[in-house]
Each structure stands twice: as C-alpha cells, then as structure tokens.
Amino acid sequence: MRADTVKSRSKLEVQMVIVCVKCGRILRIACNGVWAQENKSQRGEPYRVSNFDMWECPECGYQVLAGSGKPIYEYHRKQFEKYQKETEVEFW
C-alpha cells in the first residue's frame, strides 16, 4: 500500500492506494464481494469464509485480495460446509 498526494481545488488530500509488488503499478478493483476460504495452516484446515475485494494490476494481471470485512461463516457453525462450497478463492 502507498500513500499518494492528490491535489483538489481547495486542498491537498492523501489517498491510500494498493500497488503491484511485481511491477509497481497501481492496482484497480476487479471484483467486489469475492468469497474466500481462510485456512488455519498450509495443510488446508478450513477456518472461515470471508468477503474480500479482488484487486488486479492492469499491467501484469497480478491479483490481490484486500478489504477484508467481517467473516461470513466460521468452521464451528452448523452449515459451514454449505458456505465453504460457494467460495471462489482459498488461502492460508
């Protein structure tokens, strides 16, 4: 993440931007509301399903999940498997 200074009509504002780690370009939002399964470890033990935004580099296509909101569903609740099947991305 990087802070950029933006000049508006009356004042200077600071905006936070997400920058590509591969090529340094500013990432653009690709998709809002991506469901991702978070795992406890590399072994793939499911922990929770959360809602993120998918950001993508317009230059090289590198993708990043950011803007983690509240978890949608956690592993200890009854219907976790139902929500787990609807996830689009898996990570630990």
Give residue limits of the domains in the chain: 27-91
Task: Check residue 92 and give its pLDDT.
Answer: 47
Residue 8 has pLDDT above 70, yes or no: no
Residue 59 has pLDDT above 90, yes or no: yes
Mean pLDDT of 21-43: 84
Contacts of 53 (CB under 8 A, 6+ apart): 29, 31, 32, 33, 34, 65, 66, 67
This prediction's pTM: 0.63
Is beta strand 12-17 parallel, antiparallel or unpaired with respect to 28-39? unpaired
Residue 57 has pLDDT above 70, yes or no: yes
